[in-house]
Structure 1
Amino acid sequence: MTAEQTEALIGMVATLALLVLMILPSLVGIVRERRIDRQLREAEQAREGERTRMEVQKSSSRSTVPSTATWYAEGRRSKKLVSS
């Protein structure tokens, strides 16, 4: 190998090393953002699942409150039983 070829090889390796050093931070950032996006998506899905589960639980455990008419009629019946 001649001196010119060696210098050309060193120049290409140096150029490639500089290119890698310039691209590496961008690649690390892209990988990091994809991981964060995945975590946010999983958290959102978990929150929606929790919200759905809570709504189902609320609707099934909701106590029924009698209407005013029912309350009034029951009060009248109990008074009749006491007075008779």
Structure 2
Amino acid sequence: MNTTQTEALIAMVAVLGLFVLMVAPAVTGVLLDHRVERQIRRARAALVTEPPGRPAASRPEHGAASRRHARPA
């Protein structure tokens, strides 16, 4: 291999390496989102029945903040 081919190979490897570094965070984010969505689907499927008492529509979501707002003076 002559120096021109060697330099071209080094440049190509560098470009591919930079491409991997740029794309890796996006790919890991997409995979994490899919994992979280799977966990949410499993959790919803695990809720077989609602507990007796208040109807589901009147109960706040788990972890939901209060809907009360400050009144003007």
**What TM-score do the two structures reach when normalised by structure 2?**
0.65
Match of 2:37 in 1: 37
In structure 1, the gaps of 5 or more residues are 56-84
Name whichever structure is richer in helix by fraction: 1
> Which letter does structure 1 place at the counterpart of 2:13?
V
| Alignment of 1:50 onto 2:43 | no
CA distance in structure 2 between the partners assigned to 1:50 and 1:8 by the alignment: 64
What is the TM-score when the length of structure 1 is the normalising length?
A: 0.57
Deviations 1:24-82 (A, max 9, x none): 111111110000000011111112x132xx56xxxxxxxxxxxxxxxxxxxxxxxxxxx
- Counterpart CA distance in 2 for 1:50 and 1:16 is 52
Specify the alignment match of 1:74 in structure 2.
none
The CA RMSD over aligned residues, in Å, is 1.3
User: What amino acid is the match of 2:34?
Assistant: R
Moved over 6 A (4+): none
Higher relative contact order (CA 8 A, sep 6+): 2
Paired positions, count: 52
Distance 1:32 1:50 in 2: 29
* Distance in 1, Cα, partners of 2:49 & 2:16: 50
Q: Which of the pair has more CA radius of gyration?
A: 1
SS in 2 for 1:50: coil
